[in-house]
Amino acid sequence: MIDNFALAISHGLIALAVWRLLRRPDLDREDVPPPPRKGRPRA
Amino acid sequence: MRDLFFVAFLGAFFAAGFRRPFLFVLAYVYIDIVSPQRLTYYLLNAIPISLIAVVLSVGGWALADDKSGTRIAPRQVLIVLLLAYCYATTINADFPVEALDKWGWVWKALAFAAFLPFTLRTKLRIEALLLVMVASASSIIIVGGAKTIASGGGGYGTLNLMVSNNSGLYEGSTISTVAVAIIPLILWFTRHGTIFPPDWKVKGFCYALVFSCLLIPVGTSTRTGLLCIGLVALLMLRDTKRKLLYLGLLGAAGVLAVPLLPTSFLERMGTIKTYKGDESASTRLAVWGWTWEYAKEHPLGGGFEMYRQNKIRYDTEKVEGDVGNSTVDRKLTVDQARAFHSAYFEMLGEQGFPGLAIWILINLTGIIRMEVLRHRYRKDTEQAWVTPLASALQSAHIVYLLGAAFIAIAFQPFVYMLIGAQIGLDTYLARKRRATVWRPIRTPRPEAVAA
């Protein structure tokens, strides 16, 4: 029960982070301007 | 069910990597820390997911990544040197078969640490790496924290952290040290994160996670963890503006915590003072003495797992009665093949003086370099995230070096990733400085992150 809860939280967090990273052009290059902070979809 | 979940998760992770190759690096980091293959029963056990992740990471970097301005940091050279030296001691090891076993995972940790900085080309990548490291470790930390609250802690070796074979980060003392060491990093995300911009939800989660980290040494009843908590509290004092308030809150938290702590924890912590009567502590002193004698005869080291040849005799001392009227009860204990219980002696015994010297140099350079960055960017308002990050990485490293005095974690992969992140931060900032010096007429770069 606790195991699955902890796994769900941590993996959910990683999945969401990866999802957001996919939409960030500044992950690979910084000479392109980063997106405005509040403008990301489903923040 | 759990198996399917992990397969789907990893599948999605790898798929994302094909769009952004850096995500392969994060996938490897995740696999290395969480070891999902050990949490499942069948599906993942048969596939070398770790190997696949590493091949994709290196391949993705070699084929698709921008490599302009890449330089090799001196510490990457040191890590490769340590790797080569470890290979030499493995070939000539006292226990060739067992040594080869440990070499099997050590070389991966070292090689990855040397490779990692090449991929950390942007600020976001450094942040993403640290986020995945913390989130991966959190899967173990949340389990430990929740179970400690639920059960009052199981005492050393009995807190069930999902995996029973007591290795990697799943070992009680190791996770205590690592959990406490990453507290400054977690707090960094409450102020400077951009993947999850700090709002009340992010901050709430981070604080809850820090609380969980503090519970791990309680749940596992590890004395090392308690020492690490003390050290991290001290290190955080450096960057606190209102020092007296901080000390007051710290004192209040300590006073409030003591009645809530389980008795098994308090009893074990009490043995820090009476360590002479304690077999675990006495063995350490005896093993360390034995290792020192061995190193004097074999200064080049005995290779991995050489502790298996030790035979030690030591007295445990128990003092009973009060100060005026005490009896000392000495008991002779004979033991063999006791583990090092200290990274410093692990290095000395296994890799000899040269190996120990390289290892210390790698670690000390990290602390010094972070100190340099802390000072250099202190007044830089445009890059206000640098000083706190260098500070957090340095604190984590110092806490690790304290924990390492009592646990044989000289090659803990998590720590080498932390070192990789340090080097990455260092080379990233150096690249940026060079770019500013060479192209002074360019329009100012857009502000990366507001503090």
Q: What are the structural domain ranges in chain A?
A: 1-43
**B124–A24 CB contact, under 8 Å:** yes
CA–centroid distance for B307 within its chain: 23
Q: Report which listed range, A27-36, B46-55, B199-208, B436-445, is most confident.
A: B199-208
ipTM of the complex: 0.85
Is the minimum CB–CB distance between A21 and chain B shorter than 8 Å? yes
Distance CA B220, CA B308 (A): 26
Asked if B175 has any chain A CB less than 8 Å from its own CB, the reply is: no
Percent with pLDDT over 70 in chain B: 89
CB distance B408 to B174 below 8 Å: no
Query: Does B63 touch chain A if contact means CB atoms closer than 8 Å?
Result: no
User: Does residue A26 sit at the B interface (CB-CB below 8 Å)?
Assistant: yes
Measured in whole angstroms, the distance separating CA B225 from the mean position of its chain's CA atoms is: 13
Output DSSP code: residue B407: S
| A11 Cβ contact list (under 8 Å, min separation 6) | B5, B9, B139
Average of pLDDT values for B273-298? 80
Sign of CA dihedral B322, B326, B327, B330: positive
pLDDT of A43: 42
- For B136, the closest of A14, A20, A27 (CB atoms) is A14
Burial class (CB in 10 A: 0-12, 13-18, 19+), B379: exposed
Contact of A28 with chain B, judged by CB distance below 8 Å, is answered with yes
For B260, the 3-state DSSP assignment is: helix
Please give the mean pLDDT across all residues of chain B: 87
How is residue B389 written in tokens?
A: 């990050």
Residue B110 has pLDDT above 90, yes or no: yes
pLDDT digits (tens, 9 = 90+) for B400-439: 999 999 999 999 999 999 999 999 999 999 999 988 876 5
- B135–A17 C-beta distance less than 8 A: yes
Whether pLDDT at B451 is above 50: no
DSSP-based three-state secondary structure for B55: helix
User: What's the number of CA atoms in the CB half-sphere (13 Å) around residue B336?
Assistant: 3
Total residues belonging to chain B: 451
Task: Summarize the confidence of residues B312-331 as an average pLDDT.
Answer: 69
**B-chain residues near A17 (CB < 8 A):** 128, 131-132, 135, 195-196
